[in-house]
Amino acid sequence: MGWFKTNFKWLYPGLRVKRWLLLALIGVILSSWGLALILEAKWWTFLFFIGRFLEEQYISYSSVMIAGVFFIILGLFMISFSLKKGAKSILNVIIPYNETRLVEVIYEKRQLKRGPKIVVIGGGTGLSVLLRGLKHYTSNITAIVTVTDDGGCSGKLRGELGILPPGDLRNNLMALADGDSLLEDLFNYRFSRGKGLEGRNLGNLLLAAMTDLTGDMNKSLQELSKVLAVRGTVLPSTLSNVILKAQMDDGSDVLGETEIVKHPGKIVRIQLVPEDCEPVGETLKAIQEADAVIIGPGSLYTSIIPNLLIKGIADAVSKSSSQVYYVCNVMTQPGETDYFTAAEHVKAIKANVPQLRIDKVIVNTGSIPKSHAERYRLKGAYPVILDERVFRQLGVKIHKADLVNLSDLVRHDSDKLARVIMKEILKDIPATERLKILDLLFGERYKDLIG
């Protein structure tokens, strides 16, 4: 009885579905009638009185065949037309796209589900840049994001509400969102005035509110992902209230991400407090099932290494059957990687997480104009130099490419970086042949990646 009531609702007035169901039914009847004519079925004369009339008029066999074909074509056209209009009538209510883009959107979403499974590990703006490019090739993305930020709006919310810092999580959530620019601007909006609101980010406040409602940051991310139609999954690296601790070259210990970056000394080692914090449940499973694991780009000591120190994550990455890539930063970062070469970035990771396996390092070789370099030099940042000889000694492969995006800032270009990574993944993973077939037949963005 419950099944009947649920399905009977499709016949309620105002749904704009009944007319198309009726048209489809007529199409089925006409197609059946035409098929019966061609097969000389005796029962077709009972369908309509016209059948008897035609039989009495001694219509020729060829005419009956032509009539049969005509009714089959007409019936199929009516079925196809009614299904198309009925689907649009329903989907236009559910999906906020106009009719001209509806087929394109459905097609694209189907294609993205066929893409490789990729796990990305990092945080900050560096990781979000990568995600903006990758989401055009696959929706099977799991972003594992650092939660050690204690400065700015995130730090205030963390201190006042006792929640995980939402800033990096919000950045990467928006990077994977399948929404329009206005919605992204809304989530990135920062109040410029107002007592208690000045400097606060609206997206961070929404995440904090959702966490209060659901009681869990991970659940709040899942709920907001539905609203934003996120192409993938964003996970905090841990749900523990973890703090960074740095051992400096002057022998001192510095607590807190903000204080670590401010300290004039060089970072020797990074630790988590507490050290035994557990990862989110889905994290280890995603790494195990991944076709590729990508570490970085992002702040080396405050965004990348902290994730790898979470209990079980580095071991899971090293034991996985997937290729592990490290995307080296384009510029050094004052207070963290002053004057670091590309190889020194890898050495720092190995010093803090010795068990971690890195199969290939992706390094930018694109030139940076003197005007940009000079502006960064005044802030204490320099282009990261590629030292190939040291990489050969480390036994780590490198992939060189022009990955730089030159605007007001010098950073990775989303499209360039995603293209390079996808080429490497398709070349390295065991499922390459399967992906080649699928994408040559259906995919548009993959065509220039597969040779």
Please compute, for residue 111, the number of CA atoms within 13 A of its CA located in the half-sphere on the CB side: 21
206 and 276 housed in the same domain:
yes
Residues 380, 45: Cα–Cα separation, whole Å: 90
347 and 386 housed in the same domain:
yes
What single letter denotes the amino acid at residue 275? Answer: E
154 and 68 housed in the same domain:
no
Domains held by the chain: number = 2
CATH number at residue 344: 3.40.50.10680
Report pLDDT digits (tens) over 342-374: 999 999 999 999 999 999 999 999 999 888 889
Tell me whether residue 446 is in a domain.
no
24 and 164 housed in the same domain:
no
Q: Write down the residue that tokens 């997937």 correspond to.
A: 322
Domain that holds residue 23: 2-94
321 and 413 housed in the same domain:
yes
Query: Where does residue 389 rank: exposed (0-12), middle (13-18), buried (19+ CB within 10 A)?
Result: exposed
- In the predicted structure, residue 16 carries a pLDDT above the cut 70: no
Q: Which three-class secondary structure state does DSSP give residue 246? A: strand
Averaged over 125-150, what is the pLDDT? 92
Give which of 297, 368, 380, 246 is closest to 122, Cα–Cα.
Answer: 297
Cα three-residue angle 317-323-324, rounded to 5 degrees: 55
Query: What is residue 412's DSSP assignment?
Result: E
Query: What is residue 190's DSSP assignment?
Result: B
Residues 123, 148: Cα–Cα separation, whole Å: 10
Mean pLDDT value across the chain: 83
129 and 200 housed in the same domain:
yes
349 and 429 housed in the same domain:
yes
Name the domain boundary from 94, 121, 155: 94
pLDDT of residue 432: 52
Taking a C-beta distance cutoff of 8 angstroms, is the pair 129, 414 a contact? yes
229 vs 140, more confident: 140
386 vs 428, more confident: 386
379 and 255 housed in the same domain:
yes
Averaged over 384-407, what is the pLDDT? 91
* pTM, to two decimals: 0.79
Under the banding of pLDDT at 50, 70 and 90, the label for residue 307 is very high
Report pLDDT digits (tens) over 31-80: 887 887 777 655 444 454 555 555 555 555 566 677 778 888 898 898 88
Averaged over 315-319, what is the pLDDT? 95
- In the predicted structure, residue 211 carries a pLDDT above the cut 70: yes
Which structure tokens are listed for 160?
A: 């006042």
319 vs 101, more confident: 319
- In the predicted structure, residue 195 carries a pLDDT above the cut 90: no
C-beta neighbour count of 271 within 10 angstroms: 17
Q: What b-and-e string marks burial along 120-131, b requiring 16 or more CB atoms within 10 Å of the CB?
A: bbbbbbbbbbbb
Tell me whether residue 99 is in a domain.
no
376 and 411 housed in the same domain:
yes
Maximum Cα–Cα distance across the chain? 108
- Antiparallel, parallel or unpaired: β 323-327 and 292-295: parallel
Taking a C-beta distance cutoff of 8 angstroms, is the pair 157, 134 a contact? no
Query: Where does residue 175 rank: exposed (0-12), middle (13-18), buried (19+ CB within 10 A)?
Result: buried
88 and 119 housed in the same domain:
no
pLDDT of residue 394: 87
Give which of 331, 428, 432 is closest to 377, Cα–Cα.
Answer: 331
Tell me whether residue 230 is in a domain.
yes
34 vs 300, more confident: 300
